Structure 1
Amino acid sequence: MSRRLLMMCMSLLSLGGLVHCSKSSQESAQPAPAAAPTAAAAVKSTALTVTQEQQASWIRNFNPLIAPGTARWPTRAGVYEPLMIFNTLKGEFVPWLAAKHEWSADNKTLTLSLRPGVKWSDGQPFTAKDVAFTFELLKKHKALDFAAVWGFVEGVSAKDDATVEFTLSRPYVPGLVYIVHQPIVPEHKWKGVEDPVTYKNETPVATGPFTEVKVFQNQIFELGRNPHYWQQGKPAVESLRFPAYPGNDQANLALLTGELDWAGSFVPDIERVFVSKDKENNHYWFPLVGNTTTLYVNTTKKPFDDPRVRKAISMGIDRDQIVRVAMYGYTRPSDATALSDAHNQWRNPEAVQAGDWTKLDVAKANALLDEAGYKKGEDGVRVGPDKKPLRFEINVVTGWSDWVRAVQIIAQNLKAIGVDATLKTYDFSPYFERLQKGEFDMSMGWTSDEPTPYHFYRDLMSSETLRPVGEVSARNWHRFANKDADALLRAFEGTSNLEEQKKLAGQMQMLFVQNAPAIPLFPGPSWGEFSTRRFTNFPNKDNPYSKLTPNSPPENLFVLVEVKPK
């Protein structure tokens, strides 16, 4: 499974901290391509050729209810559709299958009014019964309830063909995204499915723009337009074409040689290796709206239980060097709120100003460590009151070249403040197991990229997400909790007033800055590349109608319905 897909799965399984198992999205960051693509079928001018997932060969599965990466992209957002889509760049929910939503006065009832005239791809009408049926499937089969909506939803009912009502067990306004992002399936086709967890749904009936399986072979498949799509005149693209590539190397080579129209990959030195080959048509856009790349320190262990030590380590890191050398200048250093540009409308300037500990300051870092009782030994390595030297490993995944380079820089930086840190690489599975169980000293990692800072800080500071070392944690890998944060989070859950939410989010940011529970390094770029040789109207910095990347469902739906043949 590709890196971006692994992260997407981890993010979905950590939603709201409501489940006890876990690709914004730090999206794929791999070495430059070196091998030829395995799928060499001729490029069709009428088909938009895309790479989003890397597989040596395709398995025919279009089940939108199972884990991302098991069903073929764009099953969850392209074949099937959600009720609404949160547009990260605009910071708002966009009506989709639902035309509007409304909360009750006590924020315990959510009413969704469905869009009139929507049909399934077999011509049958889409109704509120389909929505209620889908959520009842999640209730019956807990393995499908990735967002754990039944952890806060008590019931769902179709009031009439166009109205769905969700009753909640407690006020939980942030739960809106988990409800409205759920792909909806047709009751008349799924009511007879014996086991929806294992069902492959090889011939889908759906509401999305591309529902017709025109070709499906081991090395390539193609999806045609929905003959009954509800957006008149869309999609303009006749079909989607998906060659199989066993890895990012081969996929990137296909991008560079012109086979692909749309991709979402890390390409080192992209201006030279991609754009310069065809300046008129080769383009990319990496807005900093992905999740934040973070250095996690285990707060259950000394000296990381001391915020002075955490801040000192952060001040010993040269983020400018990391951005320049490890990330090819694609991003910028993080501020101390740890928020990416996706949350700019929420950012508290006072918290940013107060967070000086994300700026390189070796003298101040040394002073903080002196104050905390860690003195430099004869070998230059600091020693604590317990006589143990500050020697630690920083865990990272083998082959994640940008992160490996970042850790090498961090380890070199920290010598100047008397911390002896060494790089330790693991394959993804053992790396992630250590991260989830809190069995590490220091580790590279990522944060969630949900719509509001509530979701972000709940992962990082809530008692509800805290687990003992050795027990799997969905997101609170550094094992930190704060009672003041708990109170702010609960208050946020109970209000749908935007100004009140912003006030609470600002207080959460200040609390994070004061405690430095984790060490943010840089906001993750949202990787996206495209060619205009055959198709136009991709989002870009001059036309930012959505993210460009195909790696952020359901937002990729915006692109699928707007791209046009040249």
Structure 2
Amino acid sequence: MKSALLLVPVVLLVALLVASCTSSEPRPRQPGTLFVSVEQQSAWVRNFNPLFTGAGSRWPTRAGVYECMEVFIPSTGQWTPWLATAHAWSEDHRTLRFTLREGVRWSDGRPFTAGDVAFTFQLLKKHPALDAGGAWRFLEDVRAEGTHAVAFQFSRVYIPGFSELAHQPIVPRHVWEKVADPVTFTNPEPVGTGPFTQVNVFRNQVYELGRNPNYWQPGKPAVSALRFLAFPTNDQANLALVEGEVDWAGNFVPAVDRTFVSRDPEHHTRWFPLYGSTVFLYPNTTRPPFNDVRVRKALSMALDRERLVDIAMYGYTRPADATALNDSYTGWRDAEAASGAWVRHDEAAANRLMDEAGLTRGPDGLRRMPDGQPLELELEVVGGWSDWVRAGQVLARDLRKLGIQAHLKTYEFGAWYARLQKGEFQLAIAWSLDGPTPYTFYKWLLSPRTVRPVGEVAAANWHRFGDVEADALLTRFETESSPEKQKELMAGVQRRFSELAPAIPLFPNPSWGEASSKRFTGFPSAQNPYARLSPHAEPDSLLVLTALAPREP
């Protein structure tokens, strides 16, 4: 998602890097410490709350400090047992049981049990703000069955619920039952089952996590600590990566093979499969004229996606088709839906649709709303995410050709994300939510059940759109176990998405991942795709953090 433009003279780059690292990294690198660049912020907030996704917890809180029961890997299409070693459905698909791994301890030495799992889900029920995935919309009860088994009783048949339950980070009951408000709790001294739980250092500009002294995988993690420097922008983060200060990153790097890989081809690698979430231009459909499908499709057809991916993304991806699916869903893609013309650049057709919607041009060439006011729009992106900023510039220029006064506006990440989640925007570039099947992706794009009032934090469906017909297909999918029938239903959802254009897909986001094996080995790659290389890819990051090892001297 993030990016940088490495166009500054090399001498200045080195000077900036030295200044940046000197101010935030006062001590020399310690052996076995992995430097990671995954979040671009000007200062760190000490927050390790894995339950409230809107709180902006520090990486790797949800998949590194805490862990889930099973891990789905898009690069392999397989589930990997983690805190649970097995699961089984009842014959009527109304009960799902997980068998938990024996011998797991929390980082404070207390045993991990089924009681912790049941307690975690009861917290989500008691505090709905924590239940971002809506687990209690399909759960009836969760109970521990002894020490190492937990049973989830469903209120209805809901087969996609497996992934939502399996991926939920689990917290310790003996700690969290004493927390007065788990929504606002920042959890400064986390107790987890993950490989890295000890807060060795935490300051505004740097923090470091040490190994869990009681980690359940013998001999792991081999990495002794994770260290994070505060880089306000991707430009600064990429300087550190290119100069060898960062070992693992999830950045967009322009001309990455020349600027990064070729500097040390023996050790520098990158892997950018199109498994990342789809990048959308989200129109806030609660605000006219975005509640008109003709306007949404006109905006889409005004965009030159070929030019967009060439200029803003350096050709690392491809234009989105009308299904908006990334390449991890290739086997699900419906050809009829994918061929939708509304994602193809066609200025004449875009102008016709705007005219039909009553947004005609005035004498000055600017389109006007029905009340006569010029159609003036703000397109919001994160300042410092140079790929998205450049994409926004390209999009704004295309929209101006349509007679729209389009202005790019940048925000610091926290402010941008808060506006996005609360629906307090007109147009915004943002990502999508994904899962093992396209169900999660489309549920958060089309289902009325995911629509939240403007002003209320939403996990996704930031565009606030719901369609009853698509939801009926999604609901049928929830009870269907036949792969053939699942694909038939999902084809119908894709066609409905293409018909309604609730959000405007731009391109599938590459799963950005860069690594240097100069100090550490074991990173995933196209040749060894045991996980995605991107640290943004959670919970894949658990597999990477437990596979890496310091290079032998």
Q: TM-score range by the shorter chain?
A: 0.7 to 0.9
Aligned match of 1:15? none
Is the CA contact (8 Å cut-off) linking 1:61 and 1:70 kept in structure 2? yes
Change (3 A) 1:40 1:544: farther
Q: Shift in Å at residue 329 of structure 1?
A: 1.9
Quote the residue 1:28 is aligned against: 2
Q: Deviations over 1:286-328 (max 9, x none)?
A: 2222222222334456654443443333222111111111122
1:395/1:431 contact within 8 Å kept? no
Quote the sequence identity (%): 51
Q: How far does the alpha carbon of each residue in 1:43-87 deviate from its partner, in whole angstroms, 9 at most, with x for none? A: 233222223345666666655445476654323322321111121
Q: 2:30 — aligned with what?
A: 44
Residue range with higher mean Cα deviation, 553-562 or 247-256: 247-256
Partner Cα separation in structure 2 for residue 337 and residue 488 of structure 1? 15
Provide closer, same or farther for how the CA distance between residues 170 and 376 of structure 1 changes in structure 2, counting only shifts above 3 A: same
**Letter paired with 2:244:** G
Task: Give yes or no for the alignment of 1:395 onto 2:386.
Answer: no
Is contact 2:325–2:508 with CA below 8 Å preserved after alignment? yes
**Alpha-carbon shift at residue 125 of structure 1 (Å):** 3.9
Pair 1:427–1:172, CA change in 2 (3 A):
same
Of residues 332-341 and 302-311 in structure 1, the stretch that sits farther from structure 2 once superposed is: 302-311
Higher deviation after alignment, 220-229 or 521-530: 220-229
Task: Please point out which of 122, 147, 152 is paired with 1:166.
Answer: 152
Match of 2:220 in 1: 234
User: Relative to structure 1, is the Cα distance of residues 477 and 95 closer, same or farther in structure 2, using a 3 angstrom cutoff?
Assistant: same
Q: Which position in structure 2 is the counterpart of 1:451?
A: 436
C-alpha deviation, 1:487, in angstroms = 0.7
Structure 1 position 531 matched with structure 2 position 505: no
Instruction: Compute the displacement of 1:336 (Å).
Output: 0.7
Output the amino acid matched with 1:87.
I
Q: Which residue is equivalent to 2:489? A: 504
Once the two structures are overlaid, the 10-residue window that deviates more, 402-411 or 471-480, is 471-480
* Deviation string, structure 1 residues 192-237 (Cα, Å, up to 9, x no partner): 5566556665655433223455x335365544444543334433x2
Match of 1:425? 409
- Per the TM alignment, residue 276 of structure 1 is displaced from its structure 2 partner at its CA by 2.6
Match of 1:463 among 428, 435, 448: 448
**1:389-431 residue CA offsets vs partner (Å, 9 max, x unmatched):** 8733142236243333323323433455x43342241535665
TM-score, structure 2 as length reference: 0.85
Q: Which residue of 1 aligns with 2:323?
A: 337
- Sort the Cα spacing of 1:387 and 1:82 in 2 relative to 1 into closer, same or farther, 3 A: closer
Give, in angstroms, the shift of residue 138 of structure 1: 3.5
Q: d(CA) in 2 for partners of 1:82 and 1:471?
A: 27
Matched, 1:543 2:513: no
Equivalences for residues 110-509 of structure 1 within 5 A = 110-121=96-107, 124-188=110-174, 190-191=176-177, 204-212=190-198, 215-216=200-201, 218=203, 221-235=207-221, 237-248=222-233, 249-299=235-285, 304-353=290-339, 355-369=340-354, 379-381=364-366, 386=370, 388=372, 391-397=375-381, 399=383, 400-414=385-399, 418-428=402-412, 435-436=420-421, 441-466=426-451, 474-509=459-494
Look up the match of 2:10.
Answer: none
For the 8 Å contact 2:366–2:405, the answer to whether it is kept is no
| SS of residue in 2 equivalent to 1:173 | coil
**Number of aligned pairs?**
535
Against the structure 1 CA distance between its residues 61 and 486, is the aligned structure 2 distance closer, same or farther, given a 3 Å change threshold? closer
- What amino acid maps onto 1:518 in structure 2? A
Structure 2: state its 5+ residue gaps: 7-12
TM-score by length of 1: 0.83
Mapped to 1, the partners of 2:212 and 2:453 lie a distance apart of 49
Contact 2:274 2:511 in 1 (8 A): yes
In the alignment, structure 1 residue 561 sits paired with structure 2 residue 546: yes
CA contact (8 A) 2:361 2:403 kept: no
Report SS of the residue matched to 1:79. coil
Alignment of 1:99-114 (within 5 A): 99-114=85-100
Pair 1:311–1:224, CA change in 2 (3 A): closer
**Which segment drifts farther, 553-562 or 201-210?**
201-210
Which whole-Å CA distance do the structure 1 matches of 2:293 and 2:478 have between them? 28
Q: Which residue of 2 aligns with 1:74?
A: 60
CA distance in 1, matches of 2:313, 2:201: 37
Deviation at 1:96, TM superposition (A): 0.8
Give unpaired runs (5+ residues) of structure 1: 1-26
The CA deviation at 1:525 is 2.1
Q: Distance in 2 between matches of 1:117 and 1:565?
A: 26
Alpha-carbon offset, residue 547 of structure 1: 1.2
Q: Counterpart of 2:471 in 1: which secondary structure?
A: helix
For residues 474 and 87 of structure 1, what CA distance do their matches in structure 2 show? Answer: 22
Q: Kindly provide the CA deviation profile for residues 155-190 of structure 1, in whole angstroms up to 9, marking residues without a partner as x.
A: 211112221001122323223233222222344555
What secondary structure does 1:351 align onto?
helix
Q: Does 1:97 align with 2:65?
A: no
